[in-house]
Amino acid sequence: MSIAEFITTIRNQGVQIKFHDGALKVALPKEINPEVKSELVRRKEEIKAYLGGQLTTTTQSEITLSDQPKSCRPLSVAQQRLWFIAQMEPLSSSYNMPLVLNIKGAFSVAHAERALLEIMARHEVLRTSYHEENGEVYQRLNPVPECLIESIDMRSVAESDRQQQVEAVIQETTRRPFELSSSPLLRVYWIQCSASQSDTQQGYLLLNLHHIAADAWSMEVLFDEFNFYYQQFSSASQAALPALELQYSDYAIWQASYLDEQTLQAQQNYWLEQLKGIPAVHSLPLDFVRPAKLTSQGSHYSLPLTREVAAAIADLAKRFHTTPFVIFHAAWSLLLARHSHEQDIVIGTPVAGRTHPQLGRLIGLFVNTLVLRAEVDESATLAEYVAALKAVNLAAQQHQDIPFDQVVDVLNPPRSQSHNPVFQIMLNMLQGNATKSTSSQATGSELSVTQSDDGQSNVVCDLILNVIEQDQQFELKFEYNTGLFTTQRIVMLAEQLSVLLAQMGQQPEQRLSTYTMLSPSAAEALCHPKPAYQPSRSSATTIHQLFEQQAHLNPEHEALCWADGAMSYAQLNARANRLAHTLITQYQVRAGDLVGICSPKTPELIVAILAVLKAGAGYVPLAPDFPVERIELMVADTQARLVLSCAEMFDSLTQLAVSTVTLLLNEQTEHTDSYPPANPVVDELTPDHLAYVIYTSGSTGQPKGVMVEHRNVMALLSQPSFIESASARRVASLSSYAFDGFVFDMFYPLLRGQTLVLLDKSEILDERVLNQRLCELRVEAFFATTSLFNQMVINDTFRGTSIKAVLMGGEQASAEAVQQALTRYPDIRFTNAYGPTETTVFACAHHFSDPIGRVPIGRAINDTQVFVLNNDLQPVATGVIAQLYIGGPTLARGYLNQPELSAERFIDNPYFDAQQPHSSARLYQTGDLVRRLPDGALEFIGRVDEQVKIRGFRIELGEIAQQMMRLPAVESAVVLVKELAQGKQLVAYVQPVAMPEQSDDYIAQLRERLRDSLPAYMIPSVIMLLPALPLTHNGKLDKRALPTPEVQLDESVCVAPVTSLEKALVGIWSEMLNIPEPQLSTEADFFALGGHSLLAV
């Protein structure tokens, strides 16, 4: 029970409370329940804290009986909203309020019915119906019915099946919708399970009310009065309940007069300012895609807190001079902030709304809802944070008179059937209900009447945390929408909240960021992760030495093949050796040098890379399709003395504005043949020397060179855990050699005595030729960028091949494409591989199984270590979004010639343990946001610097694209955020299965289909059709090559404005949307043109 409800309750019992100048004065009646007295003493500080900020109750006028006819009285504001919802959704049971009483012992159905009819006579709202006439809605009082209870006999059902059938009956009856124009709005069912004189469980009494007639407080009143009247009729007692001073309809009439214009305006102004700019929808991760129309189907989960945690909560409330509710609000908001990666947390909380003592024992809909907004700054101390929330709660209480529905009307947020307006998550504090029993003097038997739980519920929002307080203990009861969340996620949230509350109690002086929500053992495991797999290292210390071992062991085995040729290990090794001797002898290449390679993907490229490594140098890939300016920058940055190239690039390379020597690979055969085919020996070469420098895009616009050493590649590939060797005897290269995926393509097979299959760009981009090459060359495995993989699934490229294993990566994978691949090709093992260039190709991998619900990046591979850390480098709990850090032997040296950037991104590991051989001294700060799933796998969320939010909505762009690709007319799609004249807009680029003749019709149909699965705010404002999505030379989506979006106007139907109003509106639209007036039709859709509710204000 909240402190406001507790104060109202004890005032109703005759307790007088006054608070003045910080002092609390209490006058008790002569007869008072000892438990109430004890509770009053225990909650003294809470009462003082509440009354210190509670000002509204002193200004309200008294409620009096109305003389208005009871056949046509108005509805309260809350009732008006529920009546309106019932007209919109007449078959909905969302606002049914079932109360299931578990009956044990001798039970009289006749006494029960008399008791309920007496309650119905006492509380007129239970026999009120609601009607509309001439646009006005009114309530009408009806007579007490003659009978009420409907009996359902389950005694003939086999005992083994009885409970299941009882639960089915409860489910069916509680979900029957009410017709508000028919009285009564209370239904009662007696489900008899055993003989009437049995001392075992006899049955269930099911009471079902509509919310328009009652609230949670009312249910307690109903329960208490049922027990009172049942006992009275069972024992012929003469006791009587005090007469009610008012009826609910009197309150509805008073409310209309009390909420005058001045009162309303003052409270409206507060809420307008307090809730300005709130998020439209919470960002808590969902387990299922939010549907276009959310149902109320829900379930619940409970977790009792330990006595130690309960005591800690009480101590915190006393320490900070506040209430336990504020402590729970603080912990709940912090938990939500971490899981949603948001600081602005908005929740709702119900308040009893019974600010007059006269209302305490009335059944009716008094409850109101307050909106609590928390700014979660983890750098704040707990004391600062709680003080801020205490102020938020007190201010909300001071402005609770305005009904929540009117707050919504004033704020006018975007409406959607997919979520509630203003907030979708709640916090509620309740007083626990103990088992109540009545003793029948007439029979001498004991009758136990206990509230029962059917395990199912209707939920009015996404997630509700009910804190049930009883006997100084707390129980967390979560109600959640099963269309959004799994039980597993709710259990995780409950357990983390329990740990968080304990940590807050143990360390109340700390900053918020120090509360990890992790047990000591869990924190230890995350700070010092043990490798999933510890590969044994080869005796070879460099890449080319391991290759040379394979050439010695398998000289005649096919090392390299392509469309019209092949090369054995002996041949490849000999050619690479001769070129390496040339580099050493003729061009004085030494250990530690860097040599550029600019060549098509031909056998000469493979020879060149091996030769550079054998000469002791590191290679620098310079793709032929790079702009000359970019190549020039890379050559200058690396100070490459030599560039190995092809004839096509010779002229361009010889004109570079940097000093370098260009050596033509395809003209070197006659020069290199004079050098020995033996393996060159470079004594000073160590595993710490560079193997290559690959350039990646930099945030400054200038590419940055990642320095990768021999030992990094050896650690990745000597005994990899992410692919089975038996499934990858012939590995195709689909990557550009300027992309680090090529490191896997080339070295995985060549360092294991297997075959590298070379495919050039023209073969890869032609779906027919690609399928032909995969078949002809008997390819068994390959790595592909995610964009290329998606295209291969669409084109059915795997048909008829010998493919056994496919790795994909480089971009976030599509669940739809993966699911289609799993279904179509059950014999292929598909793996999502993740890894920044700075961690040598791959750091994590996830092997898919059928079916899939999400697309994780998986777990750490080999002896890589992964850490999910907050801004203070503290580990975070499962499900919490934070930045990914990676450590281990594959960590690159750093960025070439950029020591400051290297120090910023490659940091000291705060959890390094020199006593542990697998512990990494350094960590790479990826800039990627992830969360750890309950099974330990990681899920990619996005980039730290690329949070997508439009008009208060947090949006997952990939989710929109996935919904588009589920449509049969769409082959591929990508969604981006673009800054247009109207502000930030969602722009979709779509590759249709076949380009339509009428693109406008296609786009209109596409929008219509999307409305079935996505809320309005996720429908792209602009949809552009492309024959194919552009790809970079690495096979990734080329976002820069996407065309500039424009506002789409249907010029075939342009109706000019005629009336003065139409002309005025067109002028306003033109100004807001930045579209010339002649191009605007009076039949155009404001929102389809890029408008939104904020523009319309």
| Whether residue 215 sits in one domain with residue 120 | yes
For 198-236, what is each residue's pLDDT tens digit? 455 588 899 999 999 999 889 889 988 998 999 888 887
Q: Inform me whether the pLDDT recorded for 149 exceeds 70.
A: yes
Residue 194 has a pLDDT of 79
Q: Inform me whether the pLDDT recorded for 954 exceeds 60.
A: no
The CATH code of the domain that includes 237 is 3.30.559.10
Amino acid at 599: S
> Per the structure, how many domains does the chain have?
4
Report the 10 Å Cβ neighbour count for 904.
11
Q: Inform me whether the pLDDT recorded for 360 exceeds 90.
A: no
- The C-alpha atoms of residue 226 and residue 447 are separated, in whole angstroms, by 13
- The C-alpha atoms of residue 743 and residue 727 are separated, in whole angstroms, by 18
Residue 436 has a pLDDT of 43
| Whether residue 220 sits in one domain with residue 123 | yes
- The C-alpha atoms of residue 645 and residue 635 are separated, in whole angstroms, by 13
Residue 1094 pLDDT grade (very low, low, confident, very high; cuts 50, 70, 90) = very low
Residue 161 has a pLDDT of 87
Q: Inform me whether the pLDDT recorded for 538 exceeds 70.
A: no
- Percent pLDDT > 90 in the chain is 47
Q: Which residues of 531-554 are buried (b: 16+ CB within 10 A; e: fewer)?
A: beeebeeeebbbbbbbbbebbeeb
CB of 837 closer than 8 Å to CB of 827: no
Q: Inform me whether the pLDDT recorded for 80 exceeds 60.
A: yes
Residue 1068 placed within a domain: yes
Quick one: 1065 exposed, middle or buried, by C-beta within 10 A (0-12, 13-18, 19+)? middle
For 46-60, what is each residue's pLDDT tens digit? 777 666 554 444 455
Residue 98 placed within a domain: yes
Task: Calculate mean pLDDT across residues 349-373.
Answer: 88
Range with lowest mean pLDDT among 37-41, 94-98, 264-268, 563-567: 37-41
- The C-alpha atoms of residue 487 and residue 690 are separated, in whole angstroms, by 50
More confident residue, 667 or 463: 463
Among the candidates 250, 278, 298, a domain finishes at 250
Quick one: 317 exposed, middle or buried, by C-beta within 10 A (0-12, 13-18, 19+)? buried
Range with lowest mean pLDDT among 136-150, 621-635, 1079-1093: 1079-1093
More confident residue, 709 or 204: 709
Paired tokens of 327: 């402590």
Among the candidates 250, 284, 302, a domain finishes at 250
For 739-791, what is each residue's pLDDT tens digit? 899 999 999 999 999 999 999 988 998 889 999 999 999 999 999 988 889 88
Residue 1050 pLDDT grade (very low, low, confident, very high; cuts 50, 70, 90) = very low
* DSSP letter string, 88-143: H-TT--TTEEEEEEEEES---HHHHHHHHHHHHHH-GGGGEEEEEETTEEEEEE-P
Residues 6+ apart with CB under 8 A from 335: 493, 496, 497, 500, 517
* Cα atoms in the Cβ-side hemisphere of radius 13 Å centred on 147: 7
Highest mean pLDDT among 768-777, 1004-1013, 1086-1095: 768-777
Residue 724 pLDDT grade (very low, low, confident, very high; cuts 50, 70, 90) = confident
Q: Inform me whether the pLDDT recorded for 185 exceeds 80.
A: yes
Paired tokens of 879: 């499900």
| Whether residue 1083 sits in one domain with residue 1030 | no
- The C-alpha atoms of residue 624 and residue 628 are separated, in whole angstroms, by 9
Closest CA to 841 of 891, 875, 914, 880: 891
Task: Calculate mean pLDDT across residues 292-314.
Answer: 91
Residue 1076 has a pLDDT of 67
Residue 376 placed within a domain: no
Closest CA to 114 of 148, 152, 141: 148
Give the Å distances, CA to CA, from 304 to 312, 324, 494, 495.
14, 16, 10, 10
- The C-alpha atoms of residue 79 and residue 130 are separated, in whole angstroms, by 10
Residues 6+ apart with CB under 8 A from 795: 767, 771
| Whether residue 88 sits in one domain with residue 237 | yes
Q: Inform me whether the pLDDT recorded for 1088 exceeds 60.
A: no
Residue 460 pLDDT grade (very low, low, confident, very high; cuts 50, 70, 90) = confident
- The C-alpha atoms of residue 983 and residue 977 are separated, in whole angstroms, by 10
* DSSP letter string, 614-677: HTT-EEEE--TTS-HHHHHHHHHHHT-SEEEE-HHHHHHHHT-SS--EEEEGGG-HHHHTTS--
| Whether residue 245 sits in one domain with residue 97 | yes
- The C-alpha atoms of residue 904 and residue 803 are separated, in whole angstroms, by 42
Residue 145 pLDDT grade (very low, low, confident, very high; cuts 50, 70, 90) = very high
Closest CA to 856 of 760, 932, 964: 932
Across the chain, what does the average pLDDT equal?
85
More confident residue, 1094 or 390: 390
By residue count, the chain amounts to 1097
| Entry pTM | 0.74
Owning domain of residue 984: 949-1041
For 567-607, what is each residue's pLDDT tens digit? 999 999 999 999 999 999 999 999 999 999 998 899 999 99
Residue 445 has a pLDDT of 45
Residue 236 placed within a domain: yes
Closest CA to 479 of 469, 500, 494: 494
Q: Which contacts (CB < 8 Å, 24+ apart) does range 314-322 have?
A: 314/472, 315/505, 316/386, 316/504, 316/505, 316/508, 317/45, 317/46, 318/45, 319/508, 320/383, 320/386, 320/387, 320/390, 320/508, 321/45, 321/48, 321/49, 321/390, 322/46, 322/49, 322/386, 322/390
For 482-510, what is each residue's pLDDT tens digit? 999 999 999 999 999 999 999 999 999 99
Amino acid at 454: D
| Whether residue 245 sits in one domain with residue 98 | yes
Report the 10 Å Cβ neighbour count for 661.
13
Highest mean pLDDT among 396-405, 824-833, 1066-1075: 824-833
Q: Inform me whether the pLDDT recorded for 1053 exceeds 80.
A: no
Residue 791 has a pLDDT of 86
| Whether residue 132 sits in one domain with residue 16 | no
Q: Inform me whether the pLDDT recorded for 23 exceeds 50.
A: yes
| Whether residue 1083 sits in one domain with residue 970 | no
Residues 6+ apart with CB under 8 A from 895: 704, 705, 706, 707, 901, 902, 905
Residue 621 pLDDT grade (very low, low, confident, very high; cuts 50, 70, 90) = very high
Residue 955 placed within a domain: yes
Range with lowest mean pLDDT among 112-121, 365-374, 699-708, 729-738: 699-708
Task: Calculate mean pLDDT across residues 377-390.
Answer: 95
Highest mean pLDDT among 555-559, 663-667, 1063-1067: 555-559
Residue 1073 has a pLDDT of 56
CB of 759 closer than 8 Å to CB of 734: yes
- The C-alpha atoms of residue 811 and residue 162 are separated, in whole angstroms, by 53
Closest CA to 843 of 712, 989, 991: 712
Residue 814 pLDDT grade (very low, low, confident, very high; cuts 50, 70, 90) = confident
Range with lowest mean pLDDT among 290-294, 332-336, 1075-1079: 1075-1079
Residue 1095 has a pLDDT of 36
Residue 813 has a pLDDT of 80
The CATH code of the domain that includes 977 is 3.30.300.30
Q: Inform me whether the pLDDT recorded for 679 exceeds 90.
A: yes
CB of 204 closer than 8 Å to CB of 452: yes
Closest CA to 151 of 110, 99, 117, 184: 110
CB of 96 closer than 8 Å to CB of 82: no
Amino acid at 715: A
* Cα atoms in the Cβ-side hemisphere of radius 13 Å centred on 832: 27
| Whether residue 1083 sits in one domain with residue 977 | no
Range with lowest mean pLDDT among 333-337, 644-648, 737-741: 644-648
| Whether residue 163 sits in one domain with residue 25 | no
Residue 384 placed within a domain: no
| Whether residue 227 sits in one domain with residue 115 | yes
Q: Inform me whether the pLDDT recorded for 554 exceeds 90.
A: yes
Residue 1002 placed within a domain: yes
Residue 745 placed within a domain: no
| Whether residue 1019 sits in one domain with residue 1067 | no
Task: Calculate mean pLDDT across residues 811-836.
Answer: 89
Antiparallel, parallel or unpaired: β 642-645 and 661-664: parallel
* 3-class SS of residue 554: coil
